[in-house]
Amino acid sequence: MADMDRIMEIARRHDLFVVEDCAHAHGQRWRDQGAGCIGDFGSFSHQSTKILTAGEGGTLTTQDEALARRAHSLIDCGRPKDAAETEYTFGANYRLGELACALLVNGLHRFPAQQELRSRPCPVCGQPIASHAFEETNGNVIMECPTDERLPEPLANGPLNEFGMPATGRRLEKYEERQAREEAEREAREEAEAERA
Ligand SMILES: Cc1ncc(COP(=O)(O)O)c(C=O)c1O
């Protein structure tokens, strides 16, 4: 994350509001605070490339009730949040659809476990898995470690992907598969050495 101590100090000095761009920062922390909780607003993206996605949409966070009401009015055609409210503004329809909201609610339940997974160390280089290309399906982690010097599968003889196209040559391997393969390679080496001796 950005140096939020420094940003908040500059903002306070110049009497500025801070909107944290947390588009990709779901679950990140600065010292003891979560991303999006430090500035006046935090803005998270849920567009399709983000780690908590609903295809499109976003979440705005704030701890200031007046700002929350103003933001609510902005996304809802300028209407007040509560009918009795007299403070409202011009706005547009930036409301997130209910289907996207349902996806996000579900995604939020899965998010803590996914976050824990991302922070686990890579068994090859020890860096957090989040720094690698990885996919997770039903608890299986398929990943690529950039420090792994073994060559990718040759393109010409490589497998076809699910669209029947030649795979890119980027080798993604399940943890368990990698461990089993390394174990088999080690055993084969030991057997060959024993035969030579
Ligand atoms: C740093 C940053 N801010 C904002 C955005 C925009 O998010 P959205 O697509 O939800 O408008 C992105 C999207 O990639 C981003 O990376």
Is there an atom of ligand 1 within 6 Å of 24 CB?
yes
Q: How many domains does the chain contain in total? A: 2
d(C-alpha 124, C-alpha 183), whole Å: 14
Question: Do 10 and 35 sit in the same domain of this protein?
Answer: yes
pLDDT at 174 (0 to 100): 59
Answer yes or no: are the C-beta atoms of 52 and 104 closer than 8 Å: yes
Q: What is the CATH number of the domain that holds 33?
A: 3.40.640.10
Least confident range from 46-60, 118-132, 163-177: namely: 163-177
Is there an atom of ligand 1 within 6 Å of 57 CB?
no
Q: Please state, for a pLDDT cut of 70, what percent of the chain lies above it.
A: 79
Nearest residue to 53 via CA among 108, 117, 125: 108
Q: Parallel, antiparallel, or unpaired for β 41-45 and 19-21? A: parallel
pTM value is 0.71
> From the CA of 58, how far away is ligand 1's center (Å)?
9
More confident residue, 164 or 70: 70
Least confident range from 61-70, 72-81, 83-92: namely: 83-92
Is there an atom of ligand 1 within 6 Å of 44 CB?
no
Least confident range from 52-56, 123-127, 170-174: namely: 170-174
Which of 110, 132, 153 is the last residue in one of the domains?
110
- Kindly report, residue by residue over 98-156, the tens digit of the pLDDT: 999 999 999 999 898 888 878 888 777 788 878 877 766 665 666 677 776 654 443 33
